[in-house]
Chains A and B, each alone.
Chain A
Amino acid sequence: GPKVLQIPSHQIIDMGQMVTLNCDPVSNHLYFYWYKQILGQQMEFLVNFYNGKVMEKSKLFKDQFSVERPDGSYFTLKIQPTALEDSAVYFCASSQYGEQFFGPGTRLTVL
């Protein structure tokens, strides 16, 4: 089936540094999402994105977070600066109009 790719699979950084998580969505998809999973359990919505704009963001999407997809390339999540509580697995997803397809996740560890 359709594949969403995420790069890198694991990132370790020091608190206060900037990090960019990359997502390569399914090629003909129109909507893009980031979700955050803490402790291997609760999956929570961060943000969705369509036509170059953020549609909706949750309260977890702090001011230090930003997303973009310049010229149809990677859909990125940038965190600047990072905090300890940003340690989690971040999942990217994409969809046309219905089912969302998920990537394998990026495990972010903030020291």
Chain B
Amino acid sequence: AQSVTQPDARVTVSEGASLQLRCKYSYSGTPYLFWYVQYPRQGLQLLLKYYSGDPVVQGVNGFEAEFSKSNSSFHLRKASVHWSDSAVYFCVLKNNNAGAKLTFGGGTRLTVRP
């Protein structure tokens, strides 16, 4: 079985502050990991993905994430947030089979105060 946990349902930060959104996963094999963002009343947009190699992956809009096999984690970071980053962020896991389902964490609702 595979699962994803995002321990923080809501995070509030001030504009310009740094950000870390936490993600822990449970999977016995080699995971493919993603972060998606969902803006109000919209679909999901991919921020970044990790398949293998360098554990720090860069994404769009200054986001990055670090994979840690020893900690079973894939935390999302940004050095300086903007008010437009306010959205719901999902950490997502997939096995390495083509066409396999995505397993979502519960999501973290990020609010950036101006």
Q: Which residue numbers of A lie inside 8 Å of B, CB to CB? A: 4, 30-31, 33, 35, 40-45, 48, 50, 55-56, 58, 91, 93, 95, 97-105
Which of the residues B90, B102, B106 comes within 8 Å of A100, measured between beta carbons? Answer: B102
Q: Is B1 an interface residue (CB 8 A)?
A: no
In the complex, A41 Cα to B88 Cα: how many Å? 8
- Contacting pair A48 B106 (CB below 8 A): no
Q: Is B56 an interface residue (CB 8 A)?
A: no
Whole-angstrom distance between the Cβ of B112 and the nearest chain A Cβ: 18
- Contacting pair B44 A48 (CB below 8 A): no
Interface residues of B in 79-101 (CB under 8 A from A): 88, 90, 98-101
Whole-angstrom distance between the Cβ of A21 and the nearest chain B Cβ: 14
Across the interface, name the chain B residue whose C-beta is closest to A45. Answer: B101
Across the interface, name the chain B residue whose C-beta is closest to A97. Answer: B98
In the complex, A101 Cα to B106 Cα: how many Å? 19
Number of interface residues of B (CB under 8 A): 21
In the complex, A103 Cα to B43 Cα: how many Å? 6
* A-side contacts of B103, CB under 8 Å: 45
- Contacting pair B106 A41 (CB below 8 A): yes
In the complex, A55 Cα to B101 Cα: how many Å? 10
In the complex, A83 Cα to B5 Cα: how many Å? 29
B46, B88, B98, B99 — most chain A CB neighbours (10 Å)? B99
In the complex, A58 Cα to B104 Cα: how many Å? 14
Which of the residues A4, A98, A103, A105 comes within 8 Å of B32, measured between beta carbons? Answer: A98
- Contacting pair B104 A104 (CB below 8 A): no
* B-side contacts of A105, CB under 8 Å: 42-43
Whole-angstrom distance between the Cβ of A1 and the nearest chain B Cβ: 9
Q: Is B31 an interface residue (CB 8 A)?
A: no
Q: Is B49 an interface residue (CB 8 A)?
A: yes
In the complex, A56 Cα to B98 Cα: how many Å? 12
